[in-house]
């Protein structure tokens, strides 16, 4: 996260919530529908719980204080990342020969 974005968040945003992983959720002081998140070190978009994702995208105005245990939430994040990671095939050319121009 850049220093400029952290300064912008400090001066132009109101801290709404901080989850157990350390992600901080803000909304703009002048426009409460403008919302953003400052991710905790080592985390990214995959670390967002569903209800916070819905709040960020203005699907819901409820930023409930449902707190999962930190270890449980970290396990959920790890499983989500593992599920969506790209698994490369060992033999890419299996059953397929690419066209070679003459």
* The pLDDT of residue 30: 94
For residue 80, how many C-alpha atoms fall within 13 Å in the half-sphere facing its CB? 14
Please say if the pLDDT value at position 5 is more than 80.
Answer: yes
Mean pLDDT of 33-44: 88
Q: Where are the alpha helices (DSSP H) in the chain?
A: 3-12, 50-56, 70-84
Question: What digits encode the pLDDT tens for the residues 60-87?
Answer: 887 765 555 555 667 777 676 666 555 5
Domain ranges of the chain: 3-71
Interatomic CA distance for residues 29 and 35, integer angstroms? 10
């Amino acid at each position: 996260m850049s220093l400029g974005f952290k300064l912008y968040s400090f001066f132009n945003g109101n801290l709404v919530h901080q989850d157990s992983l350390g992600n901080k959720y803000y909304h703009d002081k002048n426009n409460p529908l403008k919302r953003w998140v400052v991710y905790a070190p080592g985390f990214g978009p995959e670390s967002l719980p569903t209800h916070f994702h819905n709040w960020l995208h203005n699907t819901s105005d409820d930023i409930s204080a449902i707190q999962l245990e930190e270890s449980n939430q970290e396990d959920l994040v790890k499983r989500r990342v593992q599920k969506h990671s790209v698994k490369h095939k060992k033999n890419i050319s299996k059953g397929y020969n690419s066209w070679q121009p003459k």
